Amino acid sequence: MRDFLYRLIFKKKILLLGFGMEGQSTYKTLRKYFPDYFFSIADKDENILNKTDIYKKDRCVHFILGKDYLQSVNDFDLIIKTPGISLNSIPISIDKDKITSQTNIFLNLYSKQIIGITGTKGKSTTSSLIFNIIHSYTKNSILVGNIGIPPFDMIDNIDDKTIIVSELSSHQLEYISKSPHIAILLNLFQEHLDHYKGFQEYQLSKFNITRYQHKNDYFIFHKDDLSISTLLDKYKIKSQILPFSHISKLKLGAYFNKNSIRLNINNRVSFLYTITNNLYLKGHHNLLNIMAAIIACKIKKIPDGYIQEGVTNFKGLEHRIEYIGKYNDILYYDDSIATVPEATIEAVKTLKKVNTIILGGFDRGINYSDLAWFLINTKIKHLIFIEEAGIRILSELKKLKNISSQEYFSVDNFNEAIKIAKVKTKKNSICLLSPAAASYGMFKNFEERGNLFKQLIMFSDNNFDKQ
């Protein structure tokens, strides 16, 4: 690790661009190996100096803060950028060859040991499922990345036998030169359009997960996703492909057939998993996530028993179609992680008895016409809309005909939304938070949004029974 970093930064003027969780992780790692090397740190948050005492203890660091934090980026030889900063909207031309990231450095060091998972939706569930299966078999395994654990924070836990499961966002994949040994691309929907110049650029960032693979690597992907198929036709990859499908019977890969998931390798069924009512991960979208996980675990030679038990017992993630409980005979579900229309549609299909849904959040310019058409053709009676995205979803609905059977409510905050939901939702039916929009603006992240939803449901009245 130290030797690689030394070759990377030697005699270069270094800028750490962004000083959130990952930026701080990068700083700590570099300072650990190079206590006297001079670094600059740039961030839009001008209050950083009030949150850290680094500038008091470290005389080899310089901060560039505030709204003009990007103005001097071209003064540096190497820029280690954090994922959340978009360079598309600034009026400065930056040499992209100068840009790297913690993810890119980590991939260059450990790509042969990494199972990398990306996709617009499902990557957290799939990453966690894969890790839980593998970790039950060997404790020499770690989970890092977009799941909330910067890879550098786990360096001390890695040896040459460690299996690394890494959730990768499009932002993390944007400036990489190495792909993981096992790459998974679950799906491609419109998201983060505020960060990219368009949907195509977003897709290409995701596709980097396989772009730099070689013939001994593996690419696992959703065969039914048209965007992925289009990219594969246009950009020839070198790795071994293992698709999964809910529609087609595949000679190679995983597919769904007669209430079971089958994995074909070398034209024979090498793994069979029967779907039962005891499975915690319900819904069509989770069948796809499970297929991807099974393929990855089989490549890593995890015994079938561990895979079977791991899939059956995995309870899913907080804030993803999470059952909160029954309150005054109303069933509440938290799906705050649903930040795109496709995730909301899957949540409604999975739960079926949704009577009230809460939608909206930060507007990133996503197309909501398909969601509106879906909603108007469901039995959902009450639709509550929040923030700019909620207003736009409502406007799409109003363009359609025959909407008189549904009730619409546009509100300013969650407290008001919950009050309406409690009054309007039919007894023994479901109230679902599934926003189909990002959380930032009103909230720091989807976790904060989901937690507030739970608090307003669970603690505003004592008549609560978590059945």
Q: Percentage of the chain surpassing pLDDT 90?
A: 71
Band of the pLDDT at 194, cuts 50, 70, 90?
low
Each residue's pLDDT tens digit, 268-277: 778 889 988 8
250 backbone dihedrals φ, ψ, rounded to 5° = -100, 140
- Mean pLDDT, residues 319-335: 92
Q: Is 224 in contact with 210 (CB distance < 8 Å)?
A: no
Confidence at residue 280, expressed as pLDDT on a 0 to 100 scale? 87
- Domain spans of the chain, in order of start: 2-100, 106-313, 322-465
- Mean pLDDT, residues 319-347: 92
Cα dihedral value 88, 89, 92, 97, nearest 10: -20
Each residue's pLDDT tens digit, 352-381: 899 999 999 999 888 999 999 999 999 999
118: closest CA among 110, 107, 109, 127?
127
50 backbone dihedrals φ, ψ, rounded to 5° = -85, -10
Measured CA to CA, the distance from residue 263 to residue 243 in angstroms comes to 10
Domain 322-465 has CATH 3.40.50.360: no
437: closest CA among 377, 379, 401, 393?
393
Measured CA to CA, the distance from residue 294 to residue 254 in angstroms comes to 8
**CA-atom Rg of the chain in angstroms:** 23
460 backbone dihedrals φ, ψ, rounded to 5° = -85, -10
Higher pLDDT, 458 or 388: 388
Which of helix, strand or coil describes residue 169? coil
Q: Kindly state the DSSP code that residue 52 receives in the 8-state scheme.
A: -
Neighbours of 234 (CB within 10 A): 9
Q: Kindly state the DSSP code that residue 260 receives in the 8-state scheme.
A: E
User: What are the respective helix, strand and coil percentages of the chain, to the nearest 5?
Assistant: 40, 25, 40
209: closest CA among 224, 188, 194, 190?
188
β-pair type (322-327, 330-334): antiparallel
Neighbours of 227 (CB within 10 A): 20
Measured CA to CA, the distance from residue 177 to residue 158 in angstroms comes to 21
Each residue's pLDDT tens digit, 93-128: 788 889 999 999 999 999 999 999 999 999 999 999
Q: Kindly state the DSSP code that residue 417 receives in the 8-state scheme.
A: H
Tokens 């938290």 sit on residue: 334
Residue 193, pLDDT above cutoff 70: no
How many angstroms separate the Cα of 377 from the Cα of each of 165, 247, 348?
A: 39, 23, 12
The pTM (predicted TM-score) of the whole model is: 0.85
Sheet holding 354-359, edge to edge: 407-411, 382-386, 354-359, 430-433, 330-334, 322-327, 464-465
Mean pLDDT is lowest, of 188-192, 193-197, 392-396, 419-423, for 193-197
Each residue's pLDDT tens digit, 413-455: 889 999 999 999 999 999 999 999 998 878 889 999 999 999 9
Q: Which CATH number fits domain 2-100: 3.50.50.60, 1.10.1040.10, 3.40.630.10, 3.40.50.720?
A: 3.40.50.720
199 backbone dihedrals φ, ψ, rounded to 5° = -60, -35
How many angstroms separate the Cα of 431 from the Cα of each of 179, 358, 384?
A: 41, 8, 10
Each residue's pLDDT tens digit, 56-71: 788 899 999 998 898 8
Same topology between domain 106-313 and domain 322-465: no
The length of the chain, given as a count of residues: 467
- Which superfamily does 106-313 belong to? Mur-like, catalytic domain (3.40.1190.10)
Strand partners, 410: 385
